[in-house]
Structure 1
Amino acid sequence: MTAHSHPEHMLLWSASATLTIGTPGRDWLVPPGYGLWVPGWTEHSVSTLRFGEGSVLAFAPERCPITWARPTGVSITPLLRELIAHLCRTGPQDTTRAPAEALAFALLTPLPDHDIQVAMPTDPRVRAIAERLVADPSDPRELAAWADHVHAGVRTLSRLFVAETGLSFARWRTQVRIRAAIHLLSDGATVESTARAVGYRKPSAFIAAFRRATGQTPGTYLGPGDPPPPSPPPPLSPR
């Protein structure tokens, strides 16, 4: 979709698709289970990295109390998912629409500081790498192998990752993996299966990386009824 803007505020929610929303300031990754609030008149484009189900809602600014000036990632709770589905089914004249919108506005909550934000690069060489890793976070290739894949030098790719995402390749890949892991864990996957799905051979290495990235253990995100994962042992202190 080409870049455009409109006066209405927009809420995008992905059920199973993976989307990127391009804005003048940065690109936003919207993986399954996440939402993005786009204020009115924000120039944006939408592209699909992985096809699936999702929803887009537009809200008239005169009826919306939300005043966020920039695109903002939002938590999508089960109740909010049901409200989004209801609003997608109803027209603007439906008598239930105004109260449903009011409740949806009250439930929209910016993602917490510890949530993983992933910036998508725009240079076509690093963008190709980024899209492949978003589609398959378990891909084990290091930057030298990717350099051969996109016909660019390792130093060039390393510089571009830092310039366009603010992170080294390794740190950016870790963010992609941990963000994918959060969705898998909240969807009921075990810590062990999640670790393998996002590229970690040992659950202990996954737990340690998860804790460094979020400040919490994977058990924080486990679905109801799942047992908490074992914590890795503390490092040995020198005698």
Structure 2
Amino acid sequence: MRMGDIQYPEPASSPILAIERGSSYENGQPDIREAHTHAEPEFLWTTTATVTVRTESRDWLLPPGYGIWIPAHVPHAGAVRHPGQGGLMAMDPVQCPIAWTSVTGVRVSPLLRELLAYMLDADPADPARPAAESLLIRLITPCPAHDIAIVMPADQRLRVIAERLLTDPSDQRELAHWSNLAHSSVRTLTRLFRAETGLSFAEWRTRVRIRAAVQKLSTGTPVGVTARQVGYRKTSAFIAVFQRVTGQTPGTYLTTEP
């Protein structure tokens, strides 16, 4: 992500070195970062963009409302798959209170999202800033165990399909339709989806839809509206699939998000 509008808190009183507002896609071209490392821990989050981050152990998918903690000196590469906004926070490696040693996914709750927005625009001398920083850091917590993991396929033919579905989870096209776009047979795509993600195409698409639904529900979108926006014509069918994947009803996400 291309970053700008950097704000620097007072280094003596803050573990935050810099906070940057990010925007993606300039002149229609995706922003891609090759593998690199940083001497300081970083927290990357998305507001409206969809981003993939590749580490040595796995690929991470960050749809809107999710973030990732990258410890210092961990090699990683990234690409923006859907244009939008996000941000990056660099931490002082000495003062940083978060001691995670591995890359960790984070769900950006509504309260955390508002604090990040405040930090991006607040004056460094704002007397409320230290308290806001302290609460913000406390809210950077690992995704819950029931969070829906999405494995991104490496094969470029599958990537074309996967990225289209990330952009529009409600897309109803089956592999027979996608095979022309991917210049491959349905049989080959079926085999590759299972080999690279551990899931069938239908199962993978369902996870993408339910993860998108979690984000919509957490921002107050009604269950019926959410169902239609992620590709389910009947709310009852959506509720049944949602409960099978997450072990909870959609209403749980409407009422428990901070």
Q: Structure 2 length normalisation: TM-score?
A: 0.79
Equivalent of 1:60 in 86, 92, 100 = 92
Equivalent of 1:25 in 37, 57, 61 = 57
Distance 1:158 1:205 in 2: 24
Distance 1:186 1:92 in 2: 30
Matched, 1:128 2:152: no
Matched, 1:198 2:230: yes
Residues 97-126 of structure 1 deviation map (CA, whole Å, 9 limit, x = unaligned): 666544333222111111111111121000
Question: What's 1:142 paired with?
Answer: 174
Matched, 1:88 2:120: yes
Distance 1:149 1:119 in 2: 21
Asked if the contact 1:35–1:76 (Cα under 8 Å) also holds between the matched residues in 2, the reply is yes
Question: What's 1:39 paired with?
Answer: 71
Asked if the contact 1:18–1:48 (Cα under 8 Å) also holds between the matched residues in 2, the reply is yes
1:190–1:78 distance in 2 versus 1, CA, 3 Å: closer
Question: What's 1:15 paired with?
Answer: 47
Can you give the 5+ residue segments of structure 1 that lack an aligned partner in the other structure?
225-239
Distance 2:255 2:97 in 1: 32
Deviation at 1:149, TM superposition (A): 1.9
Question: What's 2:151 paired with?
Answer: 119
Count how many residue pairs are aligned between Structure 1 and Structure 2: 224
For 1:121, give the aligned amino acid: P
Asked if the contact 1:185–1:223 (Cα under 8 Å) also holds between the matched residues in 2, the reply is no
Question: What's 2:138 paired with?
Answer: 106
Most deviating of 61-70 and 132-141: 61-70
1:150–1:16 distance in 2 versus 1, CA, 3 Å: same
Can you give the 5+ residue segments of structure 2 that lack an aligned partner in the other structure?
1-32
Identity of aligned residues (%): 56
Residues 189-233 of structure 1 deviation map (CA, whole Å, 9 limit, x = unaligned): 222221111111111111110001100011112269xxxxxxxxx
Question: What's 1:210 paired with?
Answer: 242
Distance 1:79 1:116 in 2: 21
Residues 119-165 of structure 1 deviation map (CA, whole Å, 9 limit, x = unaligned): 11121000100000000111111122212221112222122222222
For 1:35, give the aligned amino acid: G
1:27–1:148 distance in 2 versus 1, CA, 3 Å: same
Report SS of the residue matched to 1:62: coil
Question: What's 2:34 paired with?
Answer: 2
Report SS of the residue matched to 1:48: strand
Q: Structure 1 length normalisation: TM-score?
A: 0.85
Question: What's 2:102 paired with?
Answer: 70
Asked if the contact 2:110–2:219 (Cα under 8 Å) also holds between the matched residues in 1, the reply is no
Most deviating of 131-140 and 143-152: 143-152
Most deviating of 68-77 and 91-100: 91-100
Asked if the contact 1:12–1:37 (Cα under 8 Å) also holds between the matched residues in 2, the reply is yes
1:76–1:148 distance in 2 versus 1, CA, 3 Å: same
For 2:241, give the aligned amino acid: A
Distance 1:45 1:57 in 2: 17
Asked if the contact 1:138–1:198 (Cα under 8 Å) also holds between the matched residues in 2, the reply is yes
For 2:117, give the aligned amino acid: A
Report SS of the residue matched to 1:110: coil
